[in-house]
C-alpha cells in the first residue's frame, strides 16, 4: 500500500508540480539531493553556494504551488565548508520547511528534520547529538536536548522515504486541494435524493483527520453517487441498483469502484453503456472487486485520464 501511495505521489509531482513542464523526481533521492546535498569537490573554498536548476529545484516547486517563498530560505544559499556546520545549516533549513508547512495546516508532527537530510549528513547529526563530537560542538552550543533516534543506513533510508512522501502528501493537501471550489449550486433533485444521507460538516475543527477541503471532496462524492447510482445501474444485470451509502473515507468506501464510476458518469455519461453497466453492484469476492477495478481503469484510459494508472 505504501509503495502504491509513493508511486502515485511521484507521478503527480513529476507531471504537475513544476511551472515549466514535467520534471521526473525520485523519492527521497532527488529531493534530498536538491535540498540537502552539497558538492564536496569545492569544499576547500571558504564559502560556496549550492547551485540548482532555477526552474527545477524543490523550493521552486514549492513556490510554484504555494505562490510565496519560505521566509529565510532561498534556492541558492551560502553553506559552510565545515561538514558539521553545514549539517546544522541544512538541519535548520529542514526545520524551517516543516514549520512553514505546519503553519499552513500540514500534519507533520511525526516527521523530524533529520530524516529529510542526506545519509551522510544524518550520520554527522547522530554523531554530534550522541556525544561523539561533543568536544567540537561545545563552543557553538548546538547540542540537541530532545531524544535521539540512531538508525543504521537501511533503516534511515526507509524512514527518509516515508518522511519525504508524507511531506509531499501534505504539500498537496495544503496547497493544491484548497483549489477545489466549495461553491455548491443547489439542485432540487439532488437535494431530494440526499435527504436520507447524513451530512458532512464543513466547519474547520469538526474533524481531526480530514481538512475542510478533503471533506468538500467527500461531499462531492456523496452527492454524485446518490444522484447517479439509479441512473448508471438502472439496467444492471450484475446485482441491480446498488444501495445508498454514506461515504466518509477515501479508502474502504472507494474499494469497489462504484463511487468513482458514479463520479465519472456525472461528467462522461457515454461511459455508462460501454463500461459501467458491466460492473458488479454488490461485489463480494476478490475477483468481482478486480473486475470492477479493471472496468474503471479501462474507462480512465478511454478518456485519457489514466496518468500511469496500473492495476
Strand partners, 78: 49
**Residue 35 above 80 pLDDT?**
no
Percentage of the chain lying above the pLDDT 70 cut: 75
Judged against a pLDDT cut of 70, whether residue 44 lies above it is answered with no
Instruction: Give the helix ranges, DSSP H, for 80-208.
Output: 83-103, 119-129, 134-137, 153-171, 188-193
pLDDT over threshold 50, residue 50? no
Q: Are 143 and 129 in contact (CB under 8 A)?
A: yes
Domain ranges of the chain: 1-179, 182-303
Query: Rounded distance, CA 130 to CA 284, Å?
Result: 54
- pLDDT at residue 276 above 90? yes
Report if pTM > 0.75. Answer: no
pLDDT at 283 > cutoff 70: yes
Q: What is residue 57's predicted lDDT score, i.e. its pLDDT?
A: 76
Q: What are the residue ranges of helices labelled H in the chain? A: 2-16, 29-35, 58-66, 83-103, 119-129, 134-137, 153-171, 188-193, 212-232, 258-267, 271-274, 286-302
Contacts 24+ apart (CB under 8 A), 201-206: none
pLDDT at 170: 94
Any idea which of 168-177, 198-207, 272-281 has the lowest mean pLDDT?
A: 198-207
Is pLDDT above 90 for 304? Answer: no
Determine the pLDDT at residue 15. 87
Express each pLDDT in 108-163 by its tens digit.
989 999 999 999 999 999 989 887 544 444 434 444 456 677 889 999 999 999 99
State percent of the chain over pLDDT 90: 35
- DSSP, collapsed to helix, strand or coil, labels residue 78 as strand
Average pLDDT, rounded, for the chain: 79
Please tell me the chain's helix, strand, coil percentages from 3-state DSSP, rounded to the nearest 5.
55, 0, 45
Query: What are the pLDDT digits (tens) for 218-252?
Result: 888 988 899 899 999 998 888 889 998 888 888 88
Angle at 150 between CA 148 and CA 154, to 5 degrees: 145
Predicted pLDDT of residue 207: 62
Q: Within a 10 A sphere around the Cβ of 261, how many other Cβ atoms?
A: 27
| pLDDT over 80 (residue 298) | yes
- pLDDT, tens only, 62-101: 888 888 778 777 655 667 788 898 889 889 989 999 999 9
Q: Which three cell numbers stand for residue 12?
A: 503527480
Helix (H) or strand (E) holding 48: strand 48-49
Amino acid at each position: 500500500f505504501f509503495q502504491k501511495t509513493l508511486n502515485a505521489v511521484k507521478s503527480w509531482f513529476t507531471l504537475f508540480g513544476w511551472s515549466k513542464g514535467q520534471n521526473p523526481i525520485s523519492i527521497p533521492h532527488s529531493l534530498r539531493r536538491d535540498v540537502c546535498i552539497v558538492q564536496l569537490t569545492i569544499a576547500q573554498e571558504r564559502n560556496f553556494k549550492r547551485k540548482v536548476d532555477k526552474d527545477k529545484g524543490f523550493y521552486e516547486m514549492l513556490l510554484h504551488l504555494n505562490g510565496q517563498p519560505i521566509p529565510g530560505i532561498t534556492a541558492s544559499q551560502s553553506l559552510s565548508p565545515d561538514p558539521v556546520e553545514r549539517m546544522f545549516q541544512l538541519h535548520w533549513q529542514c526545520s524551517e520547511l516543516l514549520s512553514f508547512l505546519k503553519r499552513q495546516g500540514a500534519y507533520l508532527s511525526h516527521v523530524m528534520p533529520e530524516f529529510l537530510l542526506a545519509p551522510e549528513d544524518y550520520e554527522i547529526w547522530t554523531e554530534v547529538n550522541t556525544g561523539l563530537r561533543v568536544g567540537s560542538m561545545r563552543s557553538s552550543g548546538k547540542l540537541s536536548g530532545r531524544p535521539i533516534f540512531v538508525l543504521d543506513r537501511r533503516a534511515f533510508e526507509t524512514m527518509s522515504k516515508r518522511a519525504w512522501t508524507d511531506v509531499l502528501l501534505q504539500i498537496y493537501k495544503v496547497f493544491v486541494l484548497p483549489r477545489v471550489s466549495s461553491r455548491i449550486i443547489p439542485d432540487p433533485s439532488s437535494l431530494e435524493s440526499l435527504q436520507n444521507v447524513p451530512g458532512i460538516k464543513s466547519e474547520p475543527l469538526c474533524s481531526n483527520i480530514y481538512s475542510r477541503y478533503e471533506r468538500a471532496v467527500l461531499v462531492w462524492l456523496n452527492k454524485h453517487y446518490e444522484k447517479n447510482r439509479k441512473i448508471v445501474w438502472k439496467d444492471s444485470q450484475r446485482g441491480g441498483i446498488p444501495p445508498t451509502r454514506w461515504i466518509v473515507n477515501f479508502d474502504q468506501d472507494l474499494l469497489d469502484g462504484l463511487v468513482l464510476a458514479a463520479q465519472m458518469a456525472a461528467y462522461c455519461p457515454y461511459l455508462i453503456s460501454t463500461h459501467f453497466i458491466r460492473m458488479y453492484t454488490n461485489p463480494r469476492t476478490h475477483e468481482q472487486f478486480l473486475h470492477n477495478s479493471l472496468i474503471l481503469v479501462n474507462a480512465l484510459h478511454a478518456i485519457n485520464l489514466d496518468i500511469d494508472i496500473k492495476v
